[in-house]
Every structure is written in C-alpha cells, then in structure tokens.
Amino acid sequence: MVSIFYERGVRKIEDVYIDFKNGQGPYISDTQLNQLQRLIKQEIKEKMELSFPIGKTYVTQTDTNPSTILGFGTWERVKGKVLVGLDEDDTDGYFDEIGKEGGEKKHALSSNELPVNNIQTTTEQSGGATDGHIMRGSYNPNGSYNFGGSGSAINITQPYRVVGYMWIRTE
C-alpha cells in the first residue's frame, strides 16, 4: 500500500491510499481518483497563481481573457499603449509612478511650442525704395501675420510593433 499525503500550511487534505494487488497495476477507486484529481488541480492552480501574481503582465496573440485560460484573477486589458518602465529618479514627472498614463498620438503645436523664428520686416521708404528683408506671409486685420501654417496636428507616434493582446492582473 502506497500512501500519498498532501499538506500545505494549516490546511490538510485526507490521505489517499492506492492498493497494489499481487504484482498488478495499482487499484484506485473512483473516490480516490477524484481526491487525486482535486489535489493535482489545486497544486497546479497554486503554482500558476505564484507564476502570475497581481501586477504581472500577460502578452498573447489571442484575445481571450487570461482568467478564462488560467482559471483565476481579474485582468485589465492594455489597449493602444506603449509600456514604459518605472523611473523613480524621474524629475520631470512622466515615468515616476506605476499606473501613470500620458502622451498622445497626434499633437497640434501651440504658438509657444513653435521654434523661434527671427524675421526681419520690410520698411518702405519714400520714393519706393525698401530697407531690410522681405517678409512673406499674409496679414490679418487684427494685426497678426500668417506664415503658411495650417494648425493641423502632427504625428508624434514613436516607432512601434504591435505584439498582440496585453493584460495586467489587478486582483
């Protein structure tokens, strides 16, 4: 008779005995088989939970929620985001906190974000002569000049590769 005993912490699961009769293979009852199956499933689940703790990232090329595959956990899908490592020394406040989000795919530059452009204007003198350089653009009645910008957003997407579906375990 072979005895298999399973114990983890203070929780105990009863002994499962497997009988070997006269040199034949082991005899195991349906009850014993069910006990062994429960023990094996529980052990596998506990090992998997250790492999995928809260905060673990799961990347796959199928759109199935990991809780369906693994049988545990609450998983949040990360969509359309580039993952960046934490930088606890970050002084400008972008990558200094886990879970922080930011950035944008496209951005319309404001006038404060435009590069400095030194333009010299043309001054017309009497007799039709000019002094300085010619400034090309259009003048608006409100006193501003337009030098050809449209105000359209520019693409600021970094080089990327889509690897599949990404999930982060939250519970």
Helix (H, G, I), strand (E, B) or coil at 92: coil
- For tokens 């006038």, name the residue: 111
| Average pLDDT of span 112-118 | 69
Asked whether 66 and 48 are in contact (CB, 8 A), the reply is no
Per-residue pLDDT for 131 more than 80? no
What pLDDT shows up at residue 69?
Answer: 92
Q: Which of 47-51, 89-93, 151-155 has the lowest mean pLDDT?
A: 151-155
pTM as predicted: 0.57
Asked whether 167 and 58 are in contact (CB, 8 A), the reply is yes
What pLDDT shows up at residue 2?
Answer: 39
Q: Which of 57, 49, 113 is nearest to 81 (CA)?
A: 57
Q: Convert 83-109 to b/e letters by CB count within 10 Å (16 or more is b).
A: eeeeeeeeeeeeeeeeeeeeeeeeeee
Q: Which of 47, 8, 4 is nearest to 26 (CA)?
A: 4
What pLDDT shows up at residue 32?
Answer: 80
